[in-house]
């Protein structure tokens, strides 16, 4: 994930809070200090950092948690609110239905326009839109070839003409060329040239006035940190920016600066680039982003889990599972815990060594399976759950029938139960314990 150091800084700060037995003024001040350090280390502007942490401290000390919410959870929620506010409002793409939507890519040299044009085309086509791309960079040699190479791989048609030197003319011809296709979206890649060069801004202003795009997307290199603010401002004056894409956030230590600075211009971040591959583009949502930074799903669930694990019954359950005597009820308990943590996705993200090993589509398939398995388990008898060796073909048939699932589903569940049992025995529950320890619980 992007902003790894910010994420681990914030989580360490939260770990202290979660682990504390009593929330007092000192603890809250310490939390505010920890958060401050993490944000400053990821290059967020000092003034913005102070705004966040002062507000956090003030609210955490003064506000009473609403009924039903513990003081700890309330403080976590305040932190979540304030970080979300720092990153600006939600902004999603808007499309004129039954129309061709023209998107114009702007940005200085090397910011990632051409790469992002390909990524965006890919993202949009995955979401069911039809796309055409126009290459209007007449400045950089090989620009059109680069664009065509990227788009060929993803089956997107590119219009360009290296003989024409006027970008406005190329764009006009390109729009004519794509007219019969009635595509949902046309993306126009433009030239970058040098930083804040006057002629670049003039060229963009020309294009903007002639083409009247439906959406101007400003592409900004996330590694430049707080300078993003100035760049966004300059471009915004030339052509009203409808959305910002911050690139190269993979491993960018200054990512916090880029995200907060652009949000401060009033033009909102719509996507972030997280790698060089054509699939490395994520739709940006401040609330989801902060949720992932803080691991909100897990923290809440793990608090619950901690409560549960304090009781004798659960302790014996964990002992039983790690000693290789796991029952189907225990397997079900595992499924339930995963459900509480939020989603399988977050589990994979947070178990060390597993993150990135499983594809999103595979996780979707697994999540669907888990829902089926719950039904299957609910149709088993108590004896069957305690002693799965009882299962023969007639029992499998009965459970399949009772749960409304296929016999294959039941068999698959049994196979997975056995596998899980072996893994638990082999690892002696190391993964689960490791996960708890990370959050200061186990």
Which residues would be at the binding site for ligand GTP (CB under 6 A)?
Answer: 107, 109-115, 137, 140, 143, 192, 247-248, 250, 273-276, 280
CB of 114 to Mg ion, least distance (A): 3
Residues 226-245 that bind Mg ion (CB under 5 A): none
Q: Is the Cβ of residue 88 or residue 273 nearer to ligand GTP in the bound state? A: 273
CB of 113 to Mg ion, least distance (A): 5
Stretch in the footprint of Mg ion (CB under 5 A) among 111-119, 123-131, 308-316, 342-350 = 111-119
Q: Is the Cβ of residue 245 or residue 377 nearer to ligand GTP in the bound state? A: 245
Strands (E), 318-436: none
Q: Is the Cβ of residue 45 or residue 114 nearer to Mg ion in the bound state? A: 114
Specify whether the backbone of 405 is left (phi greater than 0), alpha (psi in -120 to 50) or beta.
beta
Choice from 84, 111, 114, 226 touching Mg ion (CB under 5 A): 114
Q: Is the Cβ of residue 166 or residue 304 nearer to Mg ion in the bound state? A: 166
CB of 177 to ligand GTP, least distance (A): 21
CB of 348 to ligand GTP, least distance (A): 22
From residue 294, alpha-carbon distances to 154, 290, 338 in Å are 34, 6, 18
Stretch in the footprint of Mg ion (CB under 5 A) among 79-87, 108-116, 299-307, 397-405 = 108-116
CB of 399 to ligand GTP, least distance (A): 48
Which residues neighbour 217 within 8 Å (Cβ) at sequence distance 6 or greater?
Answer: 103, 104, 105, 106, 116, 120, 241, 242, 243, 244, 245, 270
Q: Is the Cβ of residue 86 or residue 171 nearer to Mg ion in the bound state? A: 171
Q: Answer for the pair 255, 2: CB distance below 8 angstroms, yes or no.
A: yes
CB of 115 to Mg ion, least distance (A): 8
**Residue 110 DSSP class:** T
* Three-state secondary-structure class, residue 133: strand
CB of 245 to ligand GTP, least distance (A): 9
The token pair that represents 148 in the structure block: 């065509």
Q: Is the Cβ of residue 144 or residue 244 nearer to Mg ion in the bound state? A: 144
Q: Is the Cβ of residue 276 or residue 407 nearer to ligand GTP in the bound state? A: 276
Selection from Mg ion, ligand GTP, none that 440 binds (CB < 5 to 8 A by kind) is none
Q: Is the Cβ of residue 135 or residue 291 nearer to ligand GTP in the bound state? A: 135
Helices (H), 66-111: 71-86
- Spatial distance between the Cα atoms of 276 and 284, rounded to a whole number of angstroms: 17
Selection from ligand GTP, Mg ion, none that 334 binds (CB < 5 to 8 A by kind) is none
Q: Is the Cβ of residue 282 or residue 298 nearer to ligand GTP in the bound state? A: 282
Q: Which residue is nearest to ligand GTP (CB)?
A: 192
Selection from Mg ion, ligand GTP, none that 109 binds (CB < 5 to 8 A by kind) is ligand GTP
Count the residues of the shown chain that bind Mg ion, applying the rule CB under 5 A.
2
The token pair that represents 383 in the structure block: 């004896």
Selection from Mg ion, ligand GTP, none that 247 binds (CB < 5 to 8 A by kind) is ligand GTP
Helix%, strand%, coil% for the chain, nearest 5: 60, 10, 30
Selection from ligand GTP, Mg ion, none that 111 binds (CB < 5 to 8 A by kind) is ligand GTP
Q: Answer for the pair 75, 17: CB distance below 8 angstroms, yes or no.
A: yes
Q: Is the Cβ of residue 113 or residue 292 nearer to ligand GTP in the bound state? A: 113
Stretch in the footprint of Mg ion (CB under 5 A) among 112-120, 363-371, 376-384, 385-393 = 112-120
DSSP string, 184-245: SEEEEEE---STT-HHHHHHHHHHHHHH--SEEEEEEEGGGGGGHHHHHHHHHHHS---EEE
Q: Length of the chain, please?
A: 442
CB of 190 to Mg ion, least distance (A): 8
- Spatial distance between the Cα atoms of 193 and 200, rounded to a whole number of angstroms: 7
Owner of token pair 């959050």: 439
- Spatial distance between the Cα atoms of 190 and 29, rounded to a whole number of angstroms: 49
CB of 275 to Mg ion, least distance (A): 17
Cross-sheet strand order for the sheet of 281-283:
157-159, 131-136, 185-190, 101-106, 215-221, 243-247, 269-273, 281-283
Where along the sequence are the contacts to Mg ion (CB under 5 A)?
Answer: 113-114
């Amino acid at each position: 994930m992007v902003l790894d150091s910010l994420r681990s800084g914030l989580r360490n700060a939260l770990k202290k809070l979660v682990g504390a037995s009593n929330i007092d003024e000192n603890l809250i001040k310490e939390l505010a200090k920890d958060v401050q350090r993490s944000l400053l280390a990821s290059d967020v502007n000092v003034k913005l950092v102070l705004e966040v942490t002062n507000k956090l401290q003030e609210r955490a000390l003064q506000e009473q948690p609403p009924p039903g919410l513990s003081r700890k959870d309330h403080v976590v929620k305040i932190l979540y609110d304030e970080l979300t506010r720092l990153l600006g409002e939600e902004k999603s793409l808007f499309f004129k239905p039954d129309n061709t939507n023209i998107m114009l890519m702007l940005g200085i040299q090397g910011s990632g326009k051409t790469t992002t044009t390909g990524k965006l085309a890919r993202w949009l086509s995955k979401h069911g839109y039809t796309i055409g791309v126009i290459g209007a960079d007449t400045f950089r040699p090989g620009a059109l070839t680069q664009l065509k190479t990227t788009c060929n791989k993803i089956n997107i048609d590119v219009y360009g003409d290296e003989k024409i030197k006027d970008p406005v003319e190329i764009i006009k011809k390109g729009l004519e060329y794509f007219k019969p296709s009635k595509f949902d979206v046309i993306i126009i890649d433009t030239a970058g040239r040098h930083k804040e060069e006057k002629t670049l801004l003039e060229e963009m202003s020309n294009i903007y006035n002639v083409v009247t795009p439906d959406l101007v997307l400003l592409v900004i290199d996330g590694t430049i940190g707080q300078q993003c603010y100035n760049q966004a401002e300059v471009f915004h004056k030339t052509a009203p920016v409808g959305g910002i894409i911050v690139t190269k956030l993979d491993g960018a230590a200054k990512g916090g600066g880029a995200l907060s600075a652009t949000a401060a211009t009033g033009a909102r971040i719509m996507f972030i680039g997280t790698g060089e591959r054509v699939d490395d583009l994520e739709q940006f949502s401040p609330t989801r982003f902060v949720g992932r930074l803080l691991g909100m799903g897990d923290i809440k669930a793990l608090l619950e889990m901690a409560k549960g694990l304090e009781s004798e019954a659960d302790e014996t359950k964990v002992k039983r599972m790690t000693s290789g005597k796991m029952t189907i009820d225990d397997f079900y308990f595992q499924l339930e815990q995963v459900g509480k943590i939020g989603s399988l996705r977050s589990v994979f993200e947070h178990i060390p060594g597993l993150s990135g090993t499983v594809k999103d589509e595979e996780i979707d398939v697994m999540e669907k399976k888990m829902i089926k398995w719950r039904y299957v388990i609910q149709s088993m008898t108590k004896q069957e759950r305690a002693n799965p060796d009882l299962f023969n073909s007639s029992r499998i048939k009965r459970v399949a029938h009772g749960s409304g699932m296929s016999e294959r589903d039941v068999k698959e569940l049994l196979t997975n139960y056995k596998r899980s049992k072996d893994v638990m025995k082999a690892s002696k529950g190391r993964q689960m314990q490791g996960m708890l320890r990370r959050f200061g619980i186990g």
